[in-house]
């Protein structure tokens, strides 16, 4: 990202995301939600939305506010709007959690909680889409990685629309038969558009550029990458477009899910081929921790994809849906997110603190802001705990699952401490820490902004 401007509030998004990850893993360790209770229980819904909205979506939004301007080589549309967007999303998620607590009988019934959640979450995401959309529109025509992001943003809009329908349904605000049909049958589309379109497809597009940049590999823009984009876009268009039409007509979305699943599988296979090329063609012989851990996360995506195919072929997809969603959320998306977070925080901190004095005073390298031999143990603990927890779901051992979740919590807390140390420049030698002209970075925002 040489020469890139900094997003003022990206660090605030990352901090909020880590807080919700720690909250979700604490709840799992305490036995809240699946597998201690059902997939549709209030506890499970709280944990799921802490992970998908609080952790993964805030992480992705924060990363895109920083990374989209780099993709299009232009300034972000607004460095002001991301803060109210963050506050609206967090407020909406807290209202949603309050609504679920009412369903569980823990809080007294207060129907406006679901209405408030819809309004706050919807408004926050509109601000995110507006800011990123205007940034992308100003750089038209877009390069291929940016086109991935556009499809990802369209997917989050579809996911949010379904989510608002469900939320209003929980609050008793739906009376239209068509909307009630979407509420009763649309959950698979909501999950697939969110995990597949918004989070995974956006991560695929962004990772093409990040892996190439951090490993000094030639950027891919050939036939396989373009077909990865086309097939993924086709899968999502069939899923959301045709799926919604089928549901509106009162049909079963099963055929739509199969058709989009086949296109999505072909997309993932081509993506896997591209990733192998990026690792094999890298110029940097010893790859950094974030790229090594990204490879482990990609391995979990491959395993989750294989298991999904096997379950679909054997008719057991419904029985193992919780296990598969857990593996995708924590093994693939969380693993990749933590790995890239570790690098992005260091790079943003370095750019903010030492960028203004480059060439004027001796400065540390980006790698001097982190201590990989110390941090790597937390990443291995995360993946080991996720794998053990997944095995516990297979064996239906909820008590052991809670112990594994505690391991995940410990690993996330360890990585969070490493991120704070990076932000505080605690790993930099004292004589190099703050040369003349540099100022110490703040924890939740950056000084430098366009």
CA dihedral over 240, 193, 237, 312, signed as positive or negative: negative
d(CA 66, CA 60): 10
Decide: pTM greater than 0.85: yes
pLDDT along the chain (450 residues), means of 10: 73 97 98 89 96 97 93 90 97 96 87 92 97 94 92 96 91 84 86 93 87 79 89 94 85 84 94 89 84 95 95 91 95 96 94 87 92 97 98 95 98 98 95 86 75
User: Would you call the peptide bond into 141 cis, given omega within 30 degrees of 0 as the criterion?
Assistant: yes
Closest to 39 (Cα-Cα) out of 30, 48, 31? 48
Write down the pLDDT at residue 450. 47
Residue 96 CA, distance from chain mean position: 19
d(CA 189, CA 248): 13
Q: How many CB atoms lie within 10 A of CB 210?
A: 25
Write down the pLDDT at residue 389. 97
Write down the pLDDT at residue 412. 98
Write down the pLDDT at residue 39. 86
CA dihedral over 299, 294, 445, 123, signed as positive or negative: negative
DSSP-assigned states of every residue in 88-145: HHHHHHHHHHHHHHHHTTSS---THHHHHHHHHHHHHHHHHHHHHHHHHHTTPSPPHH
d(CA 71, CA 81): 20
Write down the pLDDT at residue 40. 86
| Contact (CB, 8 A) for 132 and 146 | no
- Both tokens of residue 380? 């291995």
At residue 31's C-alpha, the angle toward residues 26 and 34, to 5°, is 105
CA atoms lying within 13 Å on the CB side of residue 157: 15
- Both tokens of residue 142? 């877009």
Write down the pLDDT at residue 263. 95
d(CA 134, CA 35): 42
Rg (CA), the chain: 21
Write down the pLDDT at residue 65. 95
């Amino acid at each position: 990202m040489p020469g890139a401007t900094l997003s003022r509030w990206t660090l605030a998004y990352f901090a909020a995301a880590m807080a919700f990850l720690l909250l979700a893993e604490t709840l799992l360790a305490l036995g809240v939600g699946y597998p201690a209770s059902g997939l549709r229980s209030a506890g499970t819904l709280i944990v799921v939305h802490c992970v998908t909205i609080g952790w993964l979506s805030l992480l992705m939004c924060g990363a895109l506010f920083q990374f989209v301007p780099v993709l299009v080589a232009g300034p972000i549309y607004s460095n002001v709007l991301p803060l109210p967007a963050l506050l609206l999303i967090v407020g909406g998620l807290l209202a949603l959690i309050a609504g679920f607590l009412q369903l569980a009988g823990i809080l007294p019934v207060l129907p406006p909680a679901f209405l408030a959640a819809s309004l706050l979450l919807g408004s926050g995401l509109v601000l995110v889409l507006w800011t990123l959309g205007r940034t992308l529109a100003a750089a038209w025509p877009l390069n291929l990685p940016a086109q991935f992001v556009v499809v990802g943003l369209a997917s989050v809009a579809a996911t949010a629309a379904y989510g608002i329908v469900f939320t209003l349904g929980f609050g008793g605000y739906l009376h239209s038969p068509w909307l009630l049909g979407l509420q009763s049958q649309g959950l698979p589309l909501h999950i697939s558009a969110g995990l597949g379109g918004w989070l995974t497809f956006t991560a695929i597009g962004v990772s093409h550029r990040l892996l190439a940049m951090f490993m000094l590999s030639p950027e891919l823009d050939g036939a396989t990458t373009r077909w990865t984009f086309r097939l993924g876009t086709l899968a999502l268009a069939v899923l959301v477009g045709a799926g919604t039409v089928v549901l509106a007509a009162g049909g079963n979305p099963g055929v739509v899910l199969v058709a989009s699943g086949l296109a999505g599988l072909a997309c993932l296979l081509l993506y896997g081929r591209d990733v192998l090329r990026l690792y094999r063609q890298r110029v940097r012989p010893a790859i950094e921790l974030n790229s090594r851990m990204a490879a482990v996360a990609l391995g979990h995506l491959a395993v989750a994809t294989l298991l999904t195919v096997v379950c679909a072929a054997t008719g057991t997809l419904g029985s193992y849906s919780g296990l598969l969603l857990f593996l995708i959320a924590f093994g693939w998306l969380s693993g990749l997110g933590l790995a890239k977070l570790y690098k992005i925080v260091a790079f943003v901190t370095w750019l903010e603190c030492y960028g203004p004095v480059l060439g004027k005073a001796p400065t540390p390298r980006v790698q001097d802001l982190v201590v990989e031999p110390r941090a790597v143990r937390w990443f291995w603990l995360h993946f080991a705990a996720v794998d053990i927890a997944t095995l516990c779901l297979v064996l239906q051992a909820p008590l052991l699952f809670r112990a594994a979740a505690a391991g995940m919590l410990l690993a996330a807390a360890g990585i969070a401490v490493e991120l704070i140390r990076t932000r505080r420049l605690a790993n930099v030698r004292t004589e190099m820490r703050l040369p003349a002209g540099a100022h110490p970075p703040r924890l939740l925002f950056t000084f430098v902004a366009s």
